[in-house]
Amino acid sequence: MPHTLDLQFLGRAGVIATAAIPCEGGVVLVDPGPTSCLPALTSALAAHGYGLADVRALLITHIHLDHAGASGTLAQAWPGLPVYVHAIGAKHLAQPEKLLASATRLYGADMNRLWGAFLAVPEVSLRPLQGGESLVVGGRTFSVTYTPGHAVHHVSYLDTADRVAYVGDTAGIAVGGYSLAATPPPDIDIPRWEESLTAIAALAPASLFLTHFGLVADAAAYLSRYRDVLRRSAERARVAVRAGGDEAALSDAWVRWLRADARTVVGEDAAAALEAAAPFDQIWQGLARYWRKRVERDGAGALEVPLA
Ligand SMILES: [Zn+2]
């Protein structure tokens, strides 16, 4: 079973988790997190008897900075360290300019404080994936499934021995018994996301590892609950976009609702961890953009049809 390494993002527990999977000769990391968390990653590994030099491979679910930010720093420090990532994401890890420009639109002047440096991953380290592969890393076998929805280049990994599925953000964020759908701009896609949930369920995982946050037992029950969370969120956004109005007011109303909704289930600390993992205004922005793109494609009628 994996170790759950808490990266203590912005000094807060329970926001970003890296999975450390013991293997022959060391450890495999799923999503090493941002460079700003490298000191925490290092000490969390040390608590389990490993150093960064023991890392045999990085399995990247997707290239958002909270998941993959430190990949280049690690791959440059340990030449030849294999970095598995979807082919679309691999291009951006090799040449991060566009990825960083897109992230800067979301985070502005806060980029460095949140994420630290983002170095390119050398080509020699990159192992581009499409989904459907079977990887053998340090004597462990992982099957790769393409799971778009949260991001167009998202993949999930199933460890075929203990049947833990490493699903990144595909199964959302779950802290203290409250789940929310992580729907930042720019490329969330609700129908494809639901197909990805079906694909993960079809793997029959025993448990799920969520980046935000940690292992979830009883994967099947969680996945079916999470599908409802995703739909409820997307439906609420559809109705709000259809009603229209001032964008800042729509965003504020969304943030107020989500803050209150989370607090019906969890206390202040968990609610703050949820919001640190996925700023609530970005959750709104991604959903609003998704529905407005649907209107551009299918006409205003796209907002009249509830999700099936
Ligand atoms: Zn994330």
Reported as a single tens digit per residue, the pLDDT across 207-216 is 999 999 999 9
Q: Output the CA 188–ligand 1 centroid distance in Å.
A: 13
User: Against a cut of 0.95, is the pTM above it?
Assistant: yes
What are the residues whose beta carbons fall under 8 Å from the beta carbon of 66, sequence distance 6 or more?
Answer: 9, 16, 33, 34, 115, 211, 277
Distance 257 CA to ligand 1 centre (A): 21
What Rg do the C-alpha atoms of the chain give, in angstroms?
19
Residue 265 CA to ligand 1 center (angstroms) comes to: 21
Distance from the CA of 24 to the center of ligand 1, in angstroms? Answer: 28
Give residue 155 CA to ligand 1 midpoint distance, Å: 13
The rounded mean pLDDT for the chain is 96
CA 304 to ligand 1 centroid distance, Å: 30
Q: Give, in order, the Cα–Cα distances in Å from 50 to each of 1, 20, 306.
A: 16, 10, 50
Tell me how far apart the alpha carbons of residues 80 and 82 are, in angstroms, rounded to a whole number: 6
Residue 31 tokens, joined: 């999503």
Q: Which residues of the chain have pLDDT under 70?
A: none
Spacing, Cα 299 to ligand 1 middle (Å): 31
For the chain, the domains span: 3-227, 229-303
> 230 with 189: CB under 8 angstroms?
no
How far apart are alpha carbons 208 and 191 in whole angstroms? 21
Per-residue pLDDT of 232-284, as tens digits, reads 999 999 999 999 999 999 999 999 999 999 999 999 999 999 999 999 999 99
What fold, for 3-227? Metallo-beta-lactamase; Chain A (3.60.15)
CA of 286 to the centre of ligand 1 (A): 14
